[in-house]
């Protein structure tokens, strides 16, 4: 298994200080917003799973999205597109708008074992062990399974709910500089608890390494520390002191002010994160009776994507559909 033991200095190795807002924030023009609105209205009677690029033509915005995907997958790894026209749209129209955007970004994958391709991110009273899009609790730095995560902000929180991103490549650089004895431990597999989501006969946990180095490019997958901790109970395999130290260092560097970029999403902001390159987190949030935080979420693989060996990036192709 190859391990990168050199400092990486390309566009993916950014820090909070090295980025300017104009590097990652793209504001749609009024004409582009109108194009999205018209495309949404034209598919009012279509099922989400039936939409493709031909159904949702974007002659003005489509090329911007295509260029952006290449930058996400092979460059900086995150961006925010501001000005998506969400105001005044009912939820079914919001869903079609978002999926219409999503099919221009790549192949949308299932996010649940029942085959749902779109998740609503809002507090439904779930506890802190449930999937993060169902609760108000903060989420530490992590990645998702597919290459791209798309989050569309419909309504921000009254308080909290701040999103943060951190370059996994810069985390790797800091481990190499400051804790080189731990680097190899971040290339090994760790066990993750499925927390009862497995199909009948499946193992209750799965394994995935955090860093991989393929064709001269670093890639990352770090799903959830809580699931690593609880996997010890279901597997009977305990973390060693050295493994725990490696995970602690990884999380400490990701959350450090030097690396972390905080973003307060507005209504109509589309945050795009490439899980190969960037980690993301969220602070706990508070709703009111009048204003409830609401984002929508898609898991996407770009049509031009990196090639990984089998076994890296569990659920990269989405969740296997085992129930309807």
203: left (phi over 0), alpha (psi -120 to 50) or beta: beta
Using one digit for the tens of pLDDT, what is the confidence trace for 195-224? 877 878 889 999 999 999 999 999 999 998
Mean pLDDT of 163-181: 99
Q: How does DSSP classify residue 238?
A: P
Mean pLDDT of 229-242: 97
Beta bridge partners of 121: 295
Report yes or no on 8 lying in a domain.
no
- Tell me which residue range forms the domain holding 80: 25-301
pLDDT classification of 102: cutoffs 50, 70, 90: very high
- Location of structure tokens 């899009």: 133
Report yes or no on 307 lying in a domain.
no
Using one digit for the tens of pLDDT, what is the confidence trace for 36-62? 999 999 999 999 999 999 999 999 999
| Count of structural domains, the chain | 1
Q: Please tell me whether residue 69 adopts helix, strand or coil conformation.
A: helix
Other CB atoms within 10 Å distance of the CB of residue 173: 21
Chain-centre distance for alpha carbon 17 = 22
Q: Please tell me whether residue 298 adopts helix, strand or coil conformation.
A: strand
For residue 29, what are its two tokens? 């023009």
For residue 261, is pLDDT > 80?
Answer: yes
Mean pLDDT of 247-271: 98
Read off the CATH number of the domain in which 291 is found.
3.60.130.10
pLDDT at 135 (0 to 100): 87
Phi and psi, residue 112, nearest 5°: -140, 165
Nearest CA among 148, 23, 165, 2 for reference residue 74? 148
Q: Which residue has the higher pLDDT, 295 or 135?
A: 295
Q: How far apart are CA 262 and CA 281, in angstroms?
A: 9
pLDDT classification of 311: cutoffs 50, 70, 90: confident
pLDDT at 270 (0 to 100): 99
pLDDT at 206 (0 to 100): 94
In contact, 295 and 269? CB cutoff 8 Å:
no
Q: Please tell me whether residue 31 adopts helix, strand or coil conformation.
A: helix
* Candidate from 9-23, 228-242, 265-279, 301-315 with smallest mean pLDDT: 301-315
DSSP per-residue string spanning 160-203 = E--EEEEEHHHHHHHHHHH-GGGGGGGGSEEEEE-TT-SPTTS-
Report yes or no on 312 lying in a domain.
no
Q: What is the rounded average pLDDT for all residues in the chain?
A: 95
Report yes or no on 2 lying in a domain.
no
Report yes or no on 314 lying in a domain.
no
Strand 211-214 to 139-142 pairing: unpaired
Other CB atoms within 10 Å distance of the CB of residue 214: 14
Q: Please tell me whether residue 147 adopts helix, strand or coil conformation.
A: coil
For residue 293, is pLDDT > 60?
Answer: yes
Q: How far apart are CA 257 and CA 170, in angstroms?
A: 12
| Helix, strand, coil percentages for the chain (3-state, nearest 5) | 30, 25, 45
Report yes or no on 254 lying in a domain.
yes
Using one digit for the tens of pLDDT, what is the confidence trace for 112-169? 888 899 999 998 876 656 676 778 999 999 999 999 999 999 999 999 999 999 999 9
- Print burial letters for 245-267: b (CB count within 10 Å at least 16), e (below 16): ebbebbbebbbeeebbbebebee
Report yes or no on 3 lying in a domain.
no
Report yes or no on 321 lying in a domain.
no
* pLDDT > 70 in the chain, percent: 98
């Amino acid at each position: 298994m190859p391990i990168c033991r050199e400092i990486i200095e390309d566009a993916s190795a950014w820090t909070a200080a090295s980025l300017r807002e104009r590097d990652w924030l793209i504001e749609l023009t009024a004409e582009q917003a109108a194009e999205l609105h018209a495309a949404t209205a034209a598919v009012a009677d279509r099922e989400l799973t039936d939409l493709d690029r031909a159904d949702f033509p974007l002659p003005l915005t489509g090329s911007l999205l295509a260029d952006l995907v290449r930058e996400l997958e092979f460059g900086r790894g995150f961006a925010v597109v501001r000005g998506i026209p969400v105001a005044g749209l009912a939820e079914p129209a919001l869903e079609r708008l978002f999926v219409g955007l999503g099919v221009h970004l790549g192949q949308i994958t299932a996010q649940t074992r029942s085959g749902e391709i779109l998740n609503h991110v809002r507090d439904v009273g779930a506890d802190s062990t449930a999937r993060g899009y169902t609760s108000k609790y903060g989420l530490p730095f992590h990645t998702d399974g597919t290459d791209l995560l798309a989050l569309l902000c419909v309504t921000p929180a009254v308080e909290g709910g701040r999103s943060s991103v951190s370059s996994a490549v810069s985390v790797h650089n800091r481990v190499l500089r400051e804790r080189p004895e731990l680097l190899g431990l971040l290339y090994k597999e760790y066990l993750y608890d499925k927390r009862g989501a497995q199909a009948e006969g499946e193992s209750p946990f799965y394994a995935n390494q955090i860093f991989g180095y393929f064709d001269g490019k670093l890639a990352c997958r770090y799903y959830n520390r809580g699931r690593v901790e609880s996997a010890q109970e279901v597997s009977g395999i305990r973390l060693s002191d050295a493994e725990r130290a490696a995970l602690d260092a990884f999380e400490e560097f990701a959350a450090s002010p030097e690396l972390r970029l905080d973003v307060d999403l507005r209504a109509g902001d589309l945050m795009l994160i490439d899980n190969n390159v960037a980690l993301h987190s969220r602070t706990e949030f508070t709703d009111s009776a009048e204003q409830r935080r609401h984002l929508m979420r898609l898991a996407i693989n770009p049509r031009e994507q990196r090639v990984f060996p089998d076994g890296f990036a569990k659920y990269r192709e989405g969740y296997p559909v085992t129930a309807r």
